[in-house]
């Protein structure tokens, strides 16, 4: 029997919610009773599917176009969400990019976009969301187990960006703790998505490094996020929590 959090009456904003882990989080929070706003950059068709599935199940969802690397657009999308739904209780910073290349071929453009999306957008969205959140709100960042372990070459900037979230999460938890707003960082291991399928030589290599020997499912990450968004998780803040099948064990 699945245990659901009671998020009735809450509004959740998920940046990067059109596919993969973000889409699974949006659908889970909606199933638990929250009205959901998702952002997308290029996958408008996939965002529409997420909204349609949530609405078909009796939930409420809105999709807004916003490039997470664009601070103005991201801030405006949060304000639009509050205007349309009247409040904001939960922020999930899920948007992320991954560029892998040998050090001597890694472009500064890829480096700068990695920081803009994976780190700066978390700061920008958290700063704006905190202006609208009531006391007791939730901010949940989606990091990566690569903050702790990078067993392949070419991912230094990505790992650095996810390590930066560890410190940012701790700092934001201190800033917002007096208001009862918790800030946590979820660190998934390899998860089966369209962008990172659980098959192929690379996937098999990663499976060999994991205690459970398998990729995770997006729904498993979503369930963990739903718990952190719930009232039961009110004493957890400033934490970086791995859900990685033992990848970093």
Is the Cα torsion angle 166, 198, 196, 138 positive or negative in sign?
A: negative
On the question of pLDDT at 231 being above 50, the answer is: yes
What mean pLDDT value characterizes the chain? 96
Region 154-164 average pLDDT: 97
Q: Catalytic pick from 40, 106, 158, 227?
A: 158
Q: What pLDDT sits at residue 1? A: 38
CB count in 10 Å sphere of residue 166: 18
Distances in Å between the Cα of 112 and the Cα atoms of 70, 105, 107, 190, 208 are 12, 14, 9, 24, 32
Outline where the chain has alpha helix (H): 20-31, 44-56, 71-85, 108-115, 121-132, 156-176, 201-207, 218-229
Residue 158: active-site member? yes
In percent, how much of the chain has pLDDT > 70? 99
> What are the structure tokens assigned to 184, written together?
């946590």
- Give the C-alpha separation, 164 to 224, whole Å: 21
Q: What pLDDT sits at residue 127? A: 98
Q: What pLDDT sits at residue 47? A: 98
Return the CATH architecture of domain 11-243.
Answer: 3-Layer(aba) Sandwich (3.40)
Residue pointed to by tokens 């029997």: 1
The answer to whether residues 202 and 208 touch, using CB atoms and an 8 Å cutoff, is no
How would residue 194 be classed by pLDDT, with cut points 50, 70 and 90? confident
> What are the structure tokens assigned to 53, written together?
């599935």
> What are the structure tokens assigned to 42, written together?
């290029």
On the question of pLDDT at 2 being above 80, the answer is: no
Stated pTM of the model: 0.96
pLDDT digits (tens, 9 = 90+) for 60-77: 999 999 999 999 999 999
Upper half-sphere CA count for residue 166 (Cβ side, 13 Å): 14
Region 26-53 average pLDDT: 97
Measured at the CA of 244, the angle between CA 234 and CA 143, to 5 degrees, comes to 60
Residue of higher predicted confidence among 1 and 22 = 22
């Amino acid at each position: 029997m699945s245990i659901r959090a009671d998020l009735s009456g809450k509004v959740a904003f998920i940046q990067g919610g059109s596919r993969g882990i973000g889409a699974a989080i949006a659908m889970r929070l909606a199933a638990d009773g929250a009205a959901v706003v998702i952002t997308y950059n290029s996958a408008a068709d996939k965002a529409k599917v997420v909204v349609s599935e949530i609405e078909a199940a009796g939930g409420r969802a809105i999709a807004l176009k916003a490039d997470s690397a664009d601070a103005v657009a991201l801030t405006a999308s949060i304000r639009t969400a509050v205007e349309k739904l009247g409040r904001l209780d939960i922020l999930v910073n899920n948007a992320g990019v991954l560029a892998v290349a040998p050090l001597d071929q890694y472009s500064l453009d890829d480096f700068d976009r990695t920081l803009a999306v994976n780190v700066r957008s978390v700061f920008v969205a958290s700063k704006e969301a905190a202006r609208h959140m009531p006391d007791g709100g939730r901010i949940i960042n989606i990091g990566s187990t690569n903050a702790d372990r990078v067993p392949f070459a070419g991912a230094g900037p990505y790992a650095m960006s996810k390590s930066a979230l560890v410190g940012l999460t701790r700092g934001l938890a201190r800033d917002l703790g007096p208001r009862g707003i918790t800030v946590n960082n979820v660190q998934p291991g390899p998860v089966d998505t369209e962008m990172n399928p659980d098959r192929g030589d690379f996937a098999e290599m990663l499976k060999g490094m994991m205690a459970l020997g398998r990729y995770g499912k997006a729904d498993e990450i979503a369930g963990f996020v739903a718990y952190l968004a719930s009232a039961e998780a009110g004493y957890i803040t400033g934490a970086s929590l791995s859900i990685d099948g033992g990848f970093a064990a």
